[in-house]
Amino acid sequence: MAARDRPECKIAPSILSADFARLAEESKRMISCGADWLHVDVMDGHFVPNLTIGAPVVKSLRKNLPDAFLDCHLMVSNPKQWILDFAKAGASLYNFHLECVMDDNTNEEQATELRSLINEVKASGMKVGISIKPKTPAEWIVPFLGEIDMVNVLTVEPGFGGQKFMSDIVGKCKIIREASKEVHIQVDGGVAPSTIDACAAVGANVIVAGSAIFGSDKPQEVIATLKKSVEAAATA
Amino acid sequence: MQAAGQRLTMRTTASRGAKAGRLASGSSRTARSAVVAKGTDRDIQIIPSVLPADWANMGQCVADLEAAGVDRIQFDVMDGNFVPNLTFGPEMIAACRKYCKTPFETQLMVSQYASETMLKDYVDATKGPNGEPGVVIVHVEACDHLQRCLKQIRELGGSPSVALNPHTPAEMVKNVLCDVDHVLVMTVNPGFGGQAYIPTMLDKIRELRAAIVAGGYDVDIEVDGGIKADWTISQCCDAGANCFIAGSGMFAYPTLKEGCDALRAIAKDAQAGKVLPPP
C-alpha cells in the first residue's frame, strides 16, 4: 500500500447551499451521494455580515441524522459563548476562528487564551478545529498543530456562499502540511472540480464545497471527482 | 399623517375574511376594563412561533401550521448578541416561503448593527407569496433610530412592528404608534422557548391599548411569551391584545389544529366577556 502524506480524504458538503427548509432531507441526500461529513456554517451577523444558523438547528440535524459527522464552522465574534450549546446539540467538531482570539502572534496572553479555548472544546467532547481567514498567515497556526484536530484554510472571505476561489491563498496549506502529517487540513471557499487539484497538491484532505455540489444535478459525481483528486495526491 | 394607500396593514388569511379595525371610544367589556377605553374588538390572530419545531424540516413544519388554521407564522431571529441564543437568519425564512401561503412574521432579536445591515434581507424574506408585506418586528431596545428603522421597513415593502422587553415601559413607543401596524409586548425575556409568562405585563397592554384608541391608530397589540390556552391568553385578550404568539402553548397538543383552536376559543370567550381568572 502506498504511503500517505495526510489523513484520509473527507468530503464535507456545506449546507449553506442547501434548501434551508429541508435540511434533514438534503443532508441525507448528500450522505447517500458519498459525503463523509456535513459542514455547518454558523454565522452571527457580527463576525461576518450574515446570519445563518445556530445550535438549535444542529440539535435538529443530530436528531434526524444520529450518525452523521457534523463539522461546525463558527463564524461568530465570541466562540467561547457557544461551546457547551454546540456540544449539547451534538456537534462533532467545533471549528472557530483564530482571528477572534489573536491579532498578534507574538502575544503570549492571546496564545494562552487560544489554548484555553482549545482545551474547553476538547473537554466538552467535541473535536477542535481552527479557521484562518485569507489574510492570516499560516505560520500563526503552526505552533498549535499538535493540540488541534483540524485547520481550516479559507479560500474566500467568510460570509457568503458562491464566491470565487482565491488560488493565491491555497498555498498556505503547504506550510501547514509540511509542519504536520496528522492534522486535518480543510479547504473552504469556492472549491469545485475546477479548483480541487490545486487544493490536493498542497496537502488538503478535508474538502468543503457548497454550490459546486448542491448546484450540480449529479452531486455523486462531483463528490467522487473531488475525492479522487485528493487521494491521488495523498499517495503520489 | 400617512398618505392614503401608504398603509400596508396585515390581515388574516382568506378563509377568515377581513374585518377592518374600527375604533370607537368608550366600549368596554369587564368591570376592570371599563376604566380604560378599549375600542372595538379587533380580529383575534393565533400566531405560532417556530421555536419548538424540528428545524431540519422547516418546510414541513410551516405546511403543517397552515393546515392547522393559524393566521401567521412567527420566525424568531436571534443573533447571540441581543439575546443569548443564536437561531437563524433570513435564508431560513425565505426557504420556507414556497411551502405555505400563510403570512409570515419575523421578530428581530438582533443588535442594532445586525438590523441595520440586513433589514432589506429580512423584509424580502418575510413577504407573502405574491410579495405582500410581511410583519417585521424590531426591538425598541435595539434601535437607536427606531422611527427611521420603522419607516425603512415600510418603504422596503414590509409591515412594521415594534417589540418591548418586559422591563421597557409603554412610554418608549408612544411616539412611534403612528409608524407601526403592531406593537409586541413580550411576556417573557426573549431568547428561549418554554419560559413562564410574566403577568405584570397586563398593565402595559392596557396602557398601550388606551393610547392606540385615543390616538385613533389602526394598530394591533401582540403578546409573546408563555401564552397558553388558559388564563394567560384570556387575561391578555381582556387587557386589549388581539394577536397571540404561542410556541410550546400550541405544540404541546396532540395536533397543531387542536392547539390553535383551543387558543382561539379562549380568546374569543374573553372578548365576549368570559375572562378566566389567574390561578
Q: What is the pLDDT of residue B89?
A: 95
- Of the candidates B56, B80, B96, the beta carbon closest to that of A24 is on B56
**Does the annotation count B230 as an active-site position?**
no
Given a cut of 50, the residues of chain B with pLDDT beneath it are: 1-35
Q: Which fold has domain A10-233?
A: TIM Barrel (3.20.20)
CB B78 within 8 A of CB B191: yes
pTM for this prediction:
0.89
Q: What is the pLDDT of residue A159?
A: 85
- On the question of pLDDT at A185 being above 50, the answer is yes
Going by the DSSP 8-state scheme, the letter that residue A53 receives in this structure is B
Q: What is the pLDDT of residue B38?
A: 81
Three-class DSSP category at A190: coil
Q: What is the pLDDT of residue B193?
A: 84
Residue-range domains of chain B with CATH? 34-271 (3.20.20.70)
A39 is in an annotated binding site: yes
- Of the candidates A21, A49, A77, the beta carbon closest to that of B59 is on A21
Rounded Cα distance between A32 and A34, Å, is 5
To the nearest whole Å, the CA of B115 is away from the closest chain A CA by 9
Of the ranges A62-66, A222-226, B78-82, B130-134, which one carries the lowest mean pLDDT score? B78-82
State mean pLDDT over A122-150.
98
Q: What is the pLDDT of residue A1?
A: 57
Buried b (16+ CB within 10 A) or exposed e, B55-81: bbbbbbbbbbbbebbbbbbbbbbbbbb
A196-214 confidence digits (pLDDT tens): 999 999 999 999 999 999 9
CB B44 within 8 A of CB B271: yes
List, in sequence order, every residue forming a beta bridge with A58; answer none if it has no partner: none
Active-site annotation holder among B76, B181, B220, B238: B76
pLDDT tier for residue A107 given thresholds of 50, 70 and 90: very high
pLDDT tier for residue A162 given thresholds of 50, 70 and 90: confident
Of the ranges A59-73, A93-107, B184-198, B208-222, which one carries the lowest mean pLDDT score? B184-198
- The domain locations on chain A are 10-233
Would the CB atoms of B118 and A49 count as touching at under 8 Å? Answer: yes
Q: Which amino acid, B31? A: A
Of the CA atoms within 13 Å of residue B209, those in its CB half-sphere come to: 33
Would the CB atoms of A81 and B80 count as touching at under 8 Å? Answer: yes
Q: Kindly list the residues from chain B whose CB atom is less than 8 angstroms away from the CB atom of residue A65.
A: 56
A160 is in an annotated binding site: yes
Angle at A155 between CA A90 and CA A23, to 5 degrees: 35
pLDDT tier for residue A161 given thresholds of 50, 70 and 90: confident
